[in-house]
Structure 1
Amino acid sequence: MDGASLGNEFSTAVIAFHEAIGRRLGVSAADHKALGHIGRHGPLTAGELAAAVGLSPGAATALVDRLESRGYVERVRDAADRRRTLIRARDMPDLSAVFADLQREAAAATEGFSAEQWQTITEYLRIMTGVLRRQTTHLNDSPGSAT
């Protein structure tokens, strides 16, 4: 399998995994990932959330509405600037068992990797995360059509 095909297969597997988690929570994969971001980096404004996860402001508002309706987040006034509304995690789901299973299987699958291999993998992921973030910004900022 060539690199492009492998990358496509890996990307699809990651999305499918997060869709399965989202289904358990009653939300989409994008909603699940945004909820995780809010839990790690919140409270934050809807605009900050939109920028962080690559959504339009309108799409981020709809996403927050869905998470709020499930009780996962709440909108609160910013104490420092009462004109701003912040999104704050409220009732975060416990996914520790799901991620413990993933971590256990991943550790077993990669237990023979050397320190040098891990360094290469880590550097690759760091670089590709930057590439993906820049390409997401480019796609979001550029008018165009998928056809």
Structure 2
Amino acid sequence: MSSDRSNYNELMLSNLELGRELSARTLMFHAAIAERVGLSATEHKALDLLSRSGSLTAGQLAEVTGLTTGAITGLIDRLEKVGFVRRERDSSDRRKVVIHPVIEKIEQEIVPLFVSMSQQTEILLSRYSEQELAIIQDFISRSIALLQAETNKLRSNG
């Protein structure tokens, strides 16, 4: 029984270390993408969140990114300057500004940079059974929720 526990502990430690490595490699990959299109990593990921959400107000974008409204204003200014977003007054509340991703520019300049990674990820995932894919999906979904909660904790206690 103790060898089972020892193996479990080794696997836990190994997976925690692999998670750190995956996080670092993911960050470096997205930083390289951002650099290629003239954005910071934060601008790139905020644009990704915006493009998947559709249009958001500046306040909503601040909320989904966890950035302050002041930081979001500067970020939106930079994204607008390079043509990845456009601002528009909210028709129902003129005090609000809605941020729209410029999908054509994103598809032209950013999406092609992900083609190889997407293809390689599909090949990697195809190695797993349906049951294994469900476990991977569960782990990733729970990891996302955990990261959001921990990010919110860090931001609210800072």
- In structure 1, the residue matched to 2:95 is 83
- In structure 2, the residue matched to 1:54 is 66
Q: Percent identity?
A: 34
Deviations 1:67-93 (A, max 9, x none): 011111121100111121111123532
The residue identity in structure 2 corresponding to 1:58 is G
Deviations 1:2-56 (A, max 9, x none): 2221111000111111111101110011111111222222321111101101111
Residue range with higher mean Cα deviation, 29-38 or 91-100: 91-100
Q: TM-score scaled by structure 1?
A: 0.89
Structure 1 residue ranges without an equivalent (≥5)? none
C-alpha change, 1:75 and 1:96, in structure 2 (3 Å) is closer
Moved over 4 A (4+): none
* Aligned-partner SS, 1:87: strand
Q: Note if 1:44 corresponds to 2:56.
A: yes
Structure 2 residue ranges without an equivalent (≥5)? 1-12
- In structure 2, the residue matched to 1:133 is 148
How well do the aligned residues superpose, as a CA RMSD in angstroms? 1.5
More helix by share: 2
Q: Note if 1:73 corresponds to 2:75.
A: no
Q: TM-score scaled by structure 2?
A: 0.84
Q: Distance in 1 between matches of 2:63 and 2:29?
A: 23
- In structure 2, the residue matched to 1:123 is 138
8 A contact 1:39–1:92 mirrored in 2: no
For these two proteins, the number of residue pairs brought into alignment is: 143
Pick aligned residue for 2:22 from 2, 10, 13: 10
